[in-house]
Structure 1
Amino acid sequence: MAHKPAALDHKVRNSKTLLLQLAEQRGLAGLLHGDSPQSFGDRFNIRRQLEQAARQKNLETIMALANQEASDQVGNEPDPDWLSHFLLLAENIRHPAMQQFWASILLQEIARPGHCSIQALNCLKNMTQKDALLLQKASALSCHFGDENLRLIFGYQHRTLLQGLRQQKLNLGKYRLPYAGLMQLFELGLLHQTELESGDLAAMAQLKLHLAPIRLLLHPHRKGTRLLYYRFSAIGNELARLMSEPTPDDYLQELSTLLAFLGRLEQQE
């Protein structure tokens, strides 16, 4: 008895089939079907209509997603120039996850006009979904202390007379933020590439680290100790604050263990 070939998953397509499908979706399959009764001009007009319809669909989808998340909270009308620029950029956003993010940005701008700058929108427009996920992960691992600028702590250094300079670092790759991901955030201008260090912690009576959604209070007792971190750029700060992913529990535990070596540590909700 002959065995029937296993049915192919409908999502599994060879490159020829996929190319044909993409060409038909974008109105570019005229020469792939042999002679066409339509002229190049006619096919151009059809493609232009398809593109315009796709842009309209993108905007309506983003508006529908924003409407689903909207509440009865009092809002304010965004700046007209900002809204025009937002719509101009958002009409080309096709990926569902990115459409959801743009919908969230619109809602936050209605709640607090001026929350997201046009420069941040321009940067976001050039980001892929992978870029946005990297920024979301970096945002979840970030904190701020001393001021409102977000920082990504990756360790500390400790200098002693007998042992010299010692460093202890976290492995951010464990939390889906490998060094290659950091490099991508550097190239996008969302993180400053320079590794920075805080001032001497011994000079501080208390260090407050604000994470989402908790706060750590560190009472340092070791002299010559400084935190090591990357600092978010101005646009990186804006976009990272639009993210809503909380600090992972395992990262919080490892960071707490790291900081506990430096002094007494308290955690507040």
Structure 2
Amino acid sequence: MAGKDLLGFGKVFPVDKLLNILSKVTGKLYRPIEGNIETQIEAKRIKEIAVASTTAYKQIINETTDLQSFEVIDGKPTIKFVRVLQEKAIDQLPTGSLLERANSREEYQKIKSQMNLENVVGIAASTLLNEEPISDEPVDEDWLTRFFKYAESISSEEMQTLWGRILAGEIREPKSFSLRTLDIIRNLSQDDANIFLELSAFFITHKHRSFILNEYNLHLDNYGFSFDKISKLIEAGILIDGAYLRSSIPKCSVETEFVFDCRNKKLSVTVNPNGEEIEFRIYGLSSAGKELFSLNNVPINEKYLNDFLNYLKPQVKKAIIF
């Protein structure tokens, strides 16, 4: 069982499930507890654990030469680093034996990794707080091992948020994010992640397939989105090259309605009986892209959607946005 079944129906509170996972994976630092109120208190404790550990960390940090300052900002531990080897002259390098300097560096890396991990866990806990009970299906141990190995190396606050939401999503529904997706996201830069977030305003979904239109008069260049950005996401393994990808509204023998999901909008298209198939070129999402897309709720670009509507209108009986 992934967590204690509080309700007797194979259901657990999401935060309890997270705490149980952490007790196994991170050296039993956390303990799942019963009761929704206590669970909320424990979740808040997770989010603030780095602050609670400030004194111990500061003692070690002050012994290293790689750090400029350590402070708590908006309830979050913040370390300001200096690049010793780049910013100090050779004669100002830290003294001591090579072994002492290596040990100092190792301690610093351990502290940084632990704080990164706790920030990611805190984000996951905050995301899951107050959610309805979920299945007690366990999260795969190999997945957890790889996730925590990668998460401890994530220092950017924005990327920590992404990894925290991935952990929360996997706890809600195991097998939502594959090992391959973790590998791809691990190598995703902050710039790539921002581009994907911006691009999310152009995805249209039909029959569980999300895509971006690649027709000349609907090309993303028309909306200030350069091909260089598309290329970056193709290289990152998020998008599938649209050179040969197609989607279509099929020919039907009777009047038929097709509905396209556009996040906060829907596009209804009704085709004429025995009309021609309507085909359009697209960029598709890779498996990792689909899983990443599920994490955001960016609304559709309305100009783009209206342009798609006007593109379809001459070819169908009726097309409306609602």
The interval holding the TM-score normalised by the smaller chain is 0.7 to 0.9
Equivalents in 1 of 2:258, 2:181: separation in Å? 30
Q: Which moved more, 1:96-105 or 1:254-263?
A: 254-263
Equivalents in 1 of 2:93, 2:220: separation in Å? 56
Matched with 2:306 is 253
Matched with 1:58 is 116
Coordinate RMSD, CA, aligned: 2.9
Matched with 2:156 is 95
Q: CA deviation at 1:27?
A: 6.0
Q: Equivalent residues in 2 for 1:212-223 (5 A)?
A: 212-221=263-272, 223=276
Equivalents in 1 of 2:296, 2:234: separation in Å? 18
CA separation of 1:47/1:199 partners in 2, compared to 1, >3 Å: closer, same or farther? Answer: same
Letter in 1 for 2:227: Y
Q: CA deviation at 1:185?
A: 1.4
Q: CA deviation at 1:24?
A: 5.8
- Secondary structure, in 3 states, of the residue corresponding to 2:259? strand
Matched with 2:97 is 39
Matched with 1:164 is none
Equivalents in 1 of 2:213, 2:126: separation in Å? 36
- Secondary structure, in 3 states, of the residue corresponding to 1:94? coil
Matched with 1:83 is 144
**TM-score using structure 2 length:** 0.65
Q: Which moved more, 1:88-97 or 1:66-75?
A: 66-75
Q: CA deviation at 1:202?
A: 4.0
Which ranges in structure 1 are unaligned for 5 or more consecutive residues?
Answer: 1-19, 156-167
Q: Which moved more, 1:109-118 or 1:210-219?
A: 210-219
Of residues 220, 229, 235, the one that matches 1:172 is: 220
Q: Is the 8 A contact 1:198 1:227 kept in 2?
A: yes
Aligned length: 237
Q: Is the 8 A contact 2:213 2:219 kept in 1?
A: no
Matched with 1:136 is 197
Matched with 2:39 is none
Percent identity, aligned pairs only?
24
Query: Could you give the per-residue CA deviations for residues 51-90 of structure 1, whole angstroms, max 9, x where no partner exists?
Result: 1111101011111122222223213442222112111111
Letter in 2 for 1:150: S
**TM-score using structure 1 length:** 0.77
Q: Is the 8 A contact 2:210 2:285 kept in 1?
A: yes
- Secondary structure, in 3 states, of the residue corresponding to 2:242? coil
- Secondary structure, in 3 states, of the residue corresponding to 2:264? coil
Q: Which moved more, 1:220-229 or 1:133-142?
A: 220-229
Letter in 1 for 2:218: L
CA separation of 1:62/1:24 partners in 2, compared to 1, >3 Å: closer, same or farther? Answer: closer
- Secondary structure, in 3 states, of the residue corresponding to 1:120? helix
Q: Is the 8 A contact 1:90 1:102 kept in 2?
A: yes
Q: Is the 8 A contact 1:197 1:227 kept in 2?
A: yes
Equivalents in 2 of 1:36, 1:202: separation in Å? 74
Matched with 2:40 is none
Letter in 2 for 1:74: P
